[in-house]
């Protein structure tokens, strides 16, 4: 089944910038393999809007939380399991990989209020002495995943 393509409405505007900045922008576009300048500018604006949306700490956003930790140090793995359970509504799915030197890499698909997701990251970073991590937000949210019918 073929999904029909949605026609988008476009607006045209001009941009004036210093020549040096323009040359850097052109180089970045070439390095990234962008087909045209408009595509590149639209991509940059989307990224900046995504950062701007994160300032609304009550906004619901989806993203990935990436953690790297020393599995042998303390009880990191069990603390992270308990944390995921405490944030069951926000942690949608997880993926874990064992790395060299006894380290683990975990990627959590998350969705919730920005403030709550940053709190989750903060708590995850405290689960082990050598835990590193970050959260990356997506420009869309997941459809409703669960419903608890009253029985």
From first to last of its 151 residues, what are the pLDDT tens digits of the chain? 677 777 788 888 898 999 999 999 999 988 988 888 888 888 899 989 988 998 898 999 999 999 999 988 778 999 999 999 999 999 999 999 999 988 999 999 999 999 999 999 999 999 988 899 999 999 888 887 666 666 6
pLDDT value, residue 73: 78
pLDDT value, residue 118: 97
Rounded CA-CA distance 1/58 in Å is: 38
Using DSSP's 3-state secondary structure scheme, residue 15 falls into: coil
Same domain as 28, residue 64: no
Q: How many domains in the chain?
A: 2
Tell me how far apart the terminal alpha carbons of the chain are, to the nearest angstrom. Answer: 38
pLDDT value, residue 119: 97
The reply to whether 10 falls in a domain is: no
Q: What is the pTM of this model?
A: 0.78
Rounded CA-CA distance 90/136 in Å is: 14
Same domain as 64, residue 127: yes
Range of the domain at 28: 19-53
pLDDT value, residue 112: 95
Same domain as 42, residue 109: no
Whether 66 and 134 have beta carbons less than 8 Å apart is answered as yes
CATH of the domain at 78: 3.30.70.1150
Mention every residue, 6+ apart, whose C-beta is less than 8 A from residue 38. Answer: none
pLDDT value, residue 146: 66
């Amino acid at each position: 089944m073929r999904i029909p393509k949605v026609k988008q409405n476009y607006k045209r505007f001009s941009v004036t910038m210093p020549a040096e900045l323009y040359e850097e922008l052109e180089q970045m576009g070439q390095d990234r393999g962008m087909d045209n300048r408009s595509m590149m500018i639209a991509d940059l604006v989307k990224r900046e809007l995504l950062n701007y949306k994160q300032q609304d700490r009550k906004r619901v956003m989806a993203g990935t939380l990436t953690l790297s930790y020393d599995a042998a140090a303390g009880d990191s793995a069990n603390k992270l399991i308990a944390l995921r359970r405490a944030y069951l509504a926000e942690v949608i799915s997880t993926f874990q990989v064992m790395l060299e030197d006894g380290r683990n890499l975990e990627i959590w698909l998350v969705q919730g209020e920005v403030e709550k997701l940053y709190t989750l990251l903060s708590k995850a970073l405290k689960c082990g002495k050598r835990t590193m991590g970050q959260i990356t937000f997506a420009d869309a949210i997941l459809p409703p995943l669960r419903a608890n019918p009253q029985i």
